[in-house]
Amino acid sequence: MFRNLTRTPQHVLTGGLALLFLFPLVWAVIASVSPQAGTAQTSGWGLGNYHTLANYQAGIWQYLLNSTLVSLLTVALTLGVSLLGGYAFAMFRFPGRNLLFLVTLAILMVPYATLLIPLYVLLNRLGLQNSLIGLALVLTMFQLPFATFMMRISFEAVPTELRESAQVDGCGNVRALLHILVPAVRPGLVTVGLFAFLAAWNDFIAPLVLISDSGKTPLPLAVANMRQQVMGIVDYGATEAGVVVLAFPCIVLFLALQRHYVRGFMSGALKG
């Protein structure tokens, strides 16, 4: 009983924080179906705002498809490059290894928006400007420093004897990586993939600069364009509906991968 009493303040604090973080999402859900003046849902509770969102210009399914393609491509590229980079930094010794790793991490200190204009010019010369592939490449570039760092500490947390025993059994570096080490660093991979997906799914600035075709617009940019109506009036109902649609895949994915996500961070923390 004494132990339960000592934990009561912790439960109250964590419960309060949970309510604090859930309040904006619950408010968005309620506002998206509640009656509001100047929206498609002026009387009664219903899905009028979602109907407005679904029929905006190219349609919500096209915007969802664009966001899904960009997010999945960003996740695939980020996982592939960071897996190889983290493996190389953790398992091999070569001249300039630490310096190269610091230069990679230094990209995190560069303001995100300052690189978009040079990247816009570069993608234009490569013929990838105003394309979902070019957008995914840019988003991957911004994810790689953290992803490489995460994969390096994940590989370093794996006992070296595991890799050495695989090499004794005749496995080369690639085979040991794919069949022995990748299952061992699965929590780190899930963490990197989840971060890459959330960043690509919710990004607004990069599509705003790099995408000019409305048919290739990701959902966050489409929601931002839709909210602005005639005479500067904001359609808050449709905006809240867009927020709910944007948040739903992120919540489901996070809840599904939460166990691996926590383990990925804990392995890096224990190694550090």
Instruction: Write the pLDDT tens digit of every residue in 36-60.
Output: 776 777 777 888 888 888 888 888 8
Radius of gyration of the chain (CA): 23
DSSP string, 216-253: G--HHHHHHHHHB-GGG-B-HHHHHHHHHHHHHHHHHH
pLDDT attached to residue 256? 84
Comparing CA positions, the residue from 70, 47, 73, 54 lying closest to residue 223 is 54
For residue 180, the model assigns a pLDDT of: 80
Confidence at residue 269, expressed as pLDDT on a 0 to 100 scale: 45
* Residue 184 buriedness (CB in 10 A; 0-12 / 13-18 / 19+): middle
In whole angstroms, give the CA distance from residue 61 to residue 54.
7
Range 58-271 has CATH code 1.10.3720.10: yes
Expressed in angstroms, the distance from the first to the final Cα of the chain is: 36
Q: What is the pLDDT of residues 155-174, one digit of tens each?
A: 888 877 777 777 777 777 77
Predicted local distance difference test score (pLDDT) of residue 2? 52
Rounded Cα–Cα distance for residues 22 and 255 (Å): 14
Report yes or no: 24 and 13 within 8 Å, Cβ to Cβ: no
| pLDDT in the model for residue 266 | 57
Strand partners, 228: 234
* Tens-place pLDDT, residues 86-108: 888 888 888 888 888 888 888 88
Enter the tokens of residue 31. 């506002």
SS3 259: helix
Q: Domain locations in the chain?
A: 58-271
Using 70 as the pLDDT threshold, list the residues of the chain that sit under it. Answer: 1-7, 38, 228-232, 261-272
- Return all residues near 184 (Cβ < 8 A) that are at least 6 apart: 158, 162
